[in-house]
Structures are given as C-alpha cells and as structure tokens.
Chains A and B, each alone.
Chain A
Amino acid sequence: DMKVTQMPRYLIKRMGENVLLECGQDMSHETMYWYRQDPGLGLQLIYISYDVDSNSEGDIPKGYRVSRKKREHFSLILDSAKTNQTSVYFCASSPGTGSSYEQYFGPGTRLTVL
C-alpha cells in the first residue's frame, strides 16, 4: 500500500522551542520533499532530498533544517521556532525528481507556534 505518513498531526509549541516533524514512506522513493502551505501562498518548497544525506534547499529554507539518514524517513527540524512558522507542513515523496513524476503527499502536520 503506497503511503506517506507524518507525525505528529497537530503540534502546539512556544516561540523559541525546538520542533521535530517526521515523515515516512513505504515506496522506496529516492526523492522526498518538505512543503509548507499557507492561505493564498500555495505550497512552498522548504527542502528537497534526493536520497540519504543528499539534501538541497528549496525556495524558503531559512529557519529550517532537514535530516535523512534512511531512504524511507525524512525529518524537518525547526531550531528555536518563530511565530511566523505557524503553518501546515506537508511531506511528499516521488520516484524521481522533477515534474515528470507524481508526488505522493502525507496528511500534513498543523503546527502552531505561540
């Protein structure tokens, strides 16, 4: 069953706290993504990972970092979270890079930073 999972689904943190969002996929896809989605701005790419330990900045990487130590697992870390990082975060995976490949999305994590 092709699936992307995200944990946690909902998270409330205070400004300055560290945040860890986790993503898993069972399709052995090489490429994984982290996006954030805000009203009126659509999906914005934070980071892309081409495989284990092969990560690249997306359009809005500032304030975020990622870790991918296993092909099926991709983490997004916010060191010292800020209120403007309140958003819905989506993880996705695809069998290759670029628009030729379908992206499979997780259910999202709604993060609130107070």
Chain B
Amino acid sequence: QEKVQQSPESLIVPEGAMVSLNCSFSDSASQSIWWYQQHPGKGPKALISIFSNGNKKEGRLTVYLNRASLHVSLHIKDSQPSDSAVYLCAGPSNTNKVVFGTGTRLQVLP
C-alpha cells in the first residue's frame, strides 16, 4: 500500500519563525501533491498544491517538489499563532485515489 511519510511529527516555534515541513511519497504518478491545513475540531482545508518539479510560492507559503526523490516540502515564512494546526500532505496512489500522511502538528507561540 502506498505511504506518505511526514516529518517532523510535531513542531513548536516562536512567532515570526520560518517553518519547514517535509513529506515523502511512494507513488511517482504524475499528479499533484497537496498540503492541507486542519485546525482542531475542523475538517482539512487545501492550502497549496504543486505538480511540476521545482518550487511554487503563494504569499507566505513556498512548496518544493523533487519527483526523482519523491520528496516535497512546505515552508511557512513569518509564522503566526493562527498558523497553529495540523498539516497534512496528500499524494497520488496507484489506484488513482489520494493517500494522506499522518500529519505534522505545528504550534506557533506568541
């Protein structure tokens, strides 16, 4: 079964810090990799996706994809307490479904 591995499991940073989250996926199918944000008691919400090798920037978020190494990372610049949430990486499976990682719990301290 396909796996999506995320690291670290949890992270505590001071407000204003740069945050880096990592994700390794096992299926190299040419589909997008997604990052979702989930606040406590809420459903996940899509943040950003990437399809092509390289990087993509949206506001304070930058995502890097390396398909050869099956690795994607999400970087949050100038982190805010409102960024405190669980971040889920999602990638393709060989049955054309989506596989989610177990998440990274981020806490940004004021």
Contacts and interface: CB of A to CB of B under 8 A. Distances in A.
| Chain B contact patch, size range | 20 to 34
Q: How large is the interface on A (under 10, 10 to 19, 20 to 34, 35 or more residues)?
A: 20 to 34
A9 B100 CA distance: 23
Nearest to A41: B102
Main secondary structure on A side of the interface with B:
loop
Contacts of B98: 45, 98-99, 103
Interface string A76-109: 0000000000000010100001111011111110
6 contacts: A42-B100, A42-B103, A90-B43, A100-B31, A102-B34, A108-B43
B31 A99 contact: yes
B91 to A, nearest CB: 6
B84 interface: no
